[in-house]
Every structure is written in structure tokens, then in C-alpha cells.
Amino acid sequence: MNQPGFPTAAQRERDASAWQGTHHHYPEAAVEHAAADLALNAWIGRFTGHVSPAALALAWLDWSSHLLLSPDKQAELATHAVSAAWRWLEYCGGALAASPTNLAGPVAPLAQDKRFVDPAWEHWPWNALSQAFLLQQQWWHRATNSVRGVSQHHADVVTFVTRQLLDGVAPSNFVATNPVIQQATLERHGMNLVAGVAHAAQDAWRAASGQASLPGLLPGREVATTPGKIVLRNRLAELLRYDPVTPQVHTTPLLIVPAWIMKYYILDLSPHNSLVRYLVGQGHTVYVISWKNPGSAERDLGLDDYRRLGIMAALDAIVRETGAPRVNACGYCLGGTLLAIAAAAMARDHDRRLASLTLLAAQVDFTEPGELSLFIDESEVSFLEATMWSQGYLDTRQMAGAFQLLRSNDLIWSRQVRHYLLDVPERQTDLMSWNADATRMPYRMHSEYLRRLFLDNDLASARLMVDGRPVALPDIAAPIFAVGTRTDHVAPWRSVYKVGLLTDAEVSFLLTSGGHNAGVVAPPGEAGRSYQMATQAPDAPYIDPERWQHETPVVEGSWWPAWEAWLAHHAGPLVAPPAPVQGGESAPGRYVMEA
């Protein structure tokens, strides 16, 4: 079935073949003539944190040259600077005479900025220092945005870099300008700083030796403890089976495809936080793919290898083992994108084994990929390819650094203040432990992923080739359940919402509170959880995301029961449970333990 404006199958195949002839998805073809270029770029990347200096230079040149050609913008910034300075001086004069609670500053921190919430910042001269910083931050935001002629991507990059520089010199980061640190130092006679030096030395040693900053919770003991068996293993994936624990079970099993950027047990954390444990307690037979942590030997594994050796191999094994003709499938993050690719290819080839699709914080259109787009343009991808070419994979620390920069205020500077200056012990949670347990990404796969999906948006444009032929999302007929999270900076919910625009299936879209990870890990009983949910028929008129959010009622509580009710509707009748798997290796398996 084709949406208006989508090419026919024959047109897609013809256009994709022509397009393939003019694009190079996999850079290995050019290595023979560019080995010196790649080696130089890889060497430079060691000193730049694998960020392309050319990409930064282009962004700065675009912004600065257009600002130079914008006298009205310059006048606006000059006027704002004078106004801000005058407001600050007025505030300082009033702050000397007023009590702390009687004088509001000229600018308030953003809601997520917790650096100056302590009452100590309300006293002179700390209130003057914090207001000076916030006013400067506000001025630079004006300076790097709304400059006529600057591309939005370059404006975002300049704004991002400026924010990093400002966050690094915030008065909250230094003993001399942070009253909270000074008070703690006086109370503890300086021992907080002594302990901080020891913490810093220990973290530096761990980083140099490749260890995590905190010992992680061990899969199979504290996390990933739901009983299960390994029923399949190949060079890229293990398939874990979790049997229901209820007197009756649904006839249609569920396959979960996690992202391969992290370990699978984000969905099987500690028992109270485990989605897998919740599902088996509701009568579902659950299968989960556990991806291998690739190294140099897996450098040539591509995106299609993940589809074949992961999803397709798992479906074959599940159907063969259970005898069920159809399987429900759920994909998380990158796993959801890969599941959409597999589903489109199966629909094209008349493979009807998928009873339904669930996409958790997963994008199928990458025109609005969120803050990760700051690190993704032709210059940056080419530079990153050089690093991956030299070592055969993208290292976990390189990925972690990018994610930390997106929230540097919380994950870098505030952590350093707490850990090194205030000597606040770090608390290890199951989600934090999982977050530190990253995996590498093979050179070929990650290059294809960045180019085909992020840069060229092939999946949404029906140009992505699978088995030599293009796939198109409108071919998917299985009902879809898509989950977006309100504060997701990796897969923004408005981007996730586009699955309803790009497919001809029935789509139930659910928007839940929280971010990319914490929003998905939302067991029943946790306070502060809420969601919105609505179902759109295949022939229903399009509703834009703003209107959808405004008109869809908010429901308090976890979204898990709502999804499980939808899943049960597509999981067949309840019957006597199948015989459990006898013998064999127990979950969590071998691959999840690979560092």
C-alpha cells in the first residue's frame, strides 16, 4: 500500500539503483586511495576528542561572517549588553541593602539549571556573581541565535560550543566563587578537598586503565536476574528465552530487540525495575536479543548483518521452537529502527510472521534527530569514520563523551563539584550501572547507520536497500505501538511521532514522562509518572503532534499496563504454558559479560 506522494515499488527500485550509483555508503571502498587521509584524521582525533576541527571551523565561520554582515543584529546585541550591565548594577545596589528573599534577580535560571538553588547564593556577593553569569549566558544565547543567513545546524553547533565554554567557567565550579563549597570546607576543615583530590586521582587511574568510574552492578546477580535460557547463539547475538510464570500464557510470543549501543538489560534491571519480569508475570513468553560487544574482528559487520543475524535469526528460532505462526516484536532505540527496517523488508517479501510492532523511543525519520545532530554532518561523520577505520570500531568512551556533553552541566560539572569539591559519595543505581556498561560499534555498521539514516534519511525516503531492493515503511500493515518520552534528547518524541505519518498501519502512540531511558524504565507504583495515549486508524486524517498533545488526556501512572493491555490484545488467547526449556545455558548469557 502506498501513501500519496510515495513512489511505486518499481519506481523505488529504479530510483534506489540510480541513487546507489552516486553515493558511497561504506567508506572501505575509498580506503585504497585515502589511507593517508584517514590515518591523519584518526591521529588528530586523539587530541580533539574525535570532534572534527573542520566542522567547528565551518560553523564558526558561518556564524561570525553573517554576524559581521548584520549591523542591526550587532546594534541589538550592543543595546542588550548595555541594558544587562545596567540591570546588574541596579541589582547589586539593591542587593547590598535588601534581605536575600526580598530582591529578585534580573534573570532567573532555566528550570533544569540547579547550580544556584542553594539559599547561600541569595547572599551578597554570591547573588551578584550568579546574576552576572546568568546575564552573560543570556547574552551569548542571543548572540549565537537568530543571525540572518546562518544555517540552523551551524547556529546550533556554535550555541552548543558556547554553552560548553560558559558551563566550564560558571562560578559554581570553583572554591573561590561557590559559597556552598566554602561553607562545607569550613565545616570539615578542608577534608572535603583532600578527599576530592583522592577521588580525582582514583578516577584518573580508572580512566587510564579503561575501568568504569564506579564498579558496576553485576549482570546475573544484582541486575538481569530474571530466570531464562539461551536458545540461540551466533557470531553477533544470543537469544534469551523467558518463560511465563502464570498458570496460563498467551499463544503469541514476544521478541524484544534492544539497541546494540548498550547492553540488553536496560529492560531487565533489578527485579522491581525489570520490564521483562513484568511481562512474564502477565503471561507473555518473552525472547530478548543480547548483542555481542564487537571488537576489531567484527569491523566489517554491517547494518544488514544486524538485521539477518539478529532479528531474522531470532524470528526463525522462535517460530521453530514454539510453533507459533506469528510473533509480536518490540524494538528499543536503535533496535526499534532496525525492527522497522526488518518489518518493511518482510512486508515487501510477503513475510507475515509479525503480529504487531512496538517501537520504544525509536525513530524512523531522521530529519529531526534531536541534539545528537550536533555531532552529525558530512565533516563530522567523515572524521569519525577515520577513527573507526583505524581501530575497527567506535569506542565506548567516545560515545559516552558525546552523550555527556549533551548534558554537561549535570553529567560533568555538577558531578565534579559534588564528587571532588563537596565529597558527596556517588550513589550507584541499576540504571546508572547499565548506563556505564556500554558496547562498541563496528566500523561498517556505524558508518552505514550514520550515512544512510542520519545524513541521507534513506528509510523514510524509501531508498534503503535490503537484499538488493529498497524497502518502504508504508508497506508495513501490522499494528504499531510507538512510545515517545517527553524530555528525550536522543529520539525527540515529535520525531518518534512521525511513524504515524510514514506508515499505513494502525498506530497507537503513547507519550510518557521522563527521558530516553528513565521514561522507558517506568514500573507501576513509581510516583510522578504520567502518560498520554491515542490510537489512529490507517485512514484517519493526520493530527499534528502539538494538537495531539493538547487534545489527548493525561493519565497518571506507569505506561507499562497500558502497553501490556494492547500487547495482550495481539498476543492470542490464554492457554496452558509450554514446557520450559530444559538444560542449556542460563540467562543472562555470555555476550552481556563481555567488556
pLDDT in 10s for each residue of the chain, 595 residues: 444 344 445 544 443 443 343 344 444 445 556 788 888 888 888 888 788 999 999 999 999 999 999 999 999 999 999 999 999 998 998 887 766 555 677 888 887 788 999 999 988 899 999 999 999 999 999 999 999 999 999 999 999 999 989 999 999 999 999 999 999 999 999 999 999 899 888 888 877 776 655 567 899 999 999 999 999 999 999 999 999 899 999 999 999 999 998 899 999 999 999 999 999 999 999 999 999 999 999 999 999 999 999 999 999 999 999 999 999 999 999 999 999 999 999 999 999 999 999 999 999 999 988 777 888 889 989 988 888 888 899 887 766 656 666 666 666 788 889 888 998 887 778 888 888 888 899 999 999 999 999 999 999 999 999 999 999 999 999 999 999 999 998 899 999 999 999 999 999 999 999 999 999 999 999 899 999 999 999 999 999 999 999 999 999 999 999 999 999 999 999 999 888 887 789 999 999 999 8
Q: Do both 565 and 452 map to the same domain?
A: yes
Q: Do both 121 and 266 map to the same domain?
A: no
Q: Give domain status of residue 332, yes or no.
A: yes
Listing DSSP states for 420-458 in one string gives IIS-PPPPP-HHHHHHT-B--EEHHHHHHIIIIIIIT-T
pTM of the model: 0.88
Q: Give domain status of residue 555, yes or no.
A: yes
Candidate list 333, 384, 394, 459, residue with the active-site label: 333
pLDDT score at 3: 45
Read off φ and ψ for residue 368, nearest 5 degrees: -130, 70
Q: Do both 246 and 164 map to the same domain?
A: no
pLDDT score at 36: 85
Q: Which residues contact 556 (CB under 8 A, 6 or more apart)?
A: 529, 530
Task: For residue 333, indicate whether it is catalytic.
Answer: yes
Q: Give domain status of residue 183, yes or no.
A: no
Q: Give domain status of residue 562, yes or no.
A: yes
Q: Do both 254 and 343 map to the same domain?
A: yes
Show the domain range for 163.
61-169
- Helix orientation angle between 378-391 and 53-68, rounded to the nearest 10 degrees: 170
Instruction: Write down which residue in 169, 186, 221 finishes a domain.
Output: 169
Q: Do both 357 and 237 map to the same domain?
A: yes
pLDDT score at 6: 42
pLDDT score at 586: 94
Residues 310 and 290: their CA atoms lie apart, in Å, by 9
Q: Which three cell numbers stand for residue 223?
A: 541486575
Q: Give domain status of residue 46, yes or no.
A: no
Q: Give domain status of residue 407, yes or no.
A: no
- Looking at the structure of the chain, the number of domains it has is 2
Residues 33 and 42: their CA atoms lie apart, in Å, by 16
Domain CATH for 471? 3.40.50.1820
Q: Do both 132 and 233 map to the same domain?
A: no
Q: Which three cell numbers stand for residue 475?
A: 508497506
Q: Do both 138 and 277 map to the same domain?
A: no
Give CA angle at 138 (135, 141), nearest 5°: 150
Q: Do both 157 and 264 map to the same domain?
A: no
Q: Do both 249 and 345 map to the same domain?
A: yes
Q: Do both 544 and 450 map to the same domain?
A: yes
Q: Do both 323 and 243 map to the same domain?
A: yes
Q: Give domain status of residue 404, yes or no.
A: no
Q: Give domain status of residue 464, yes or no.
A: yes
Eight-class DSSP state of 586: B
Q: Do both 389 and 484 map to the same domain?
A: yes
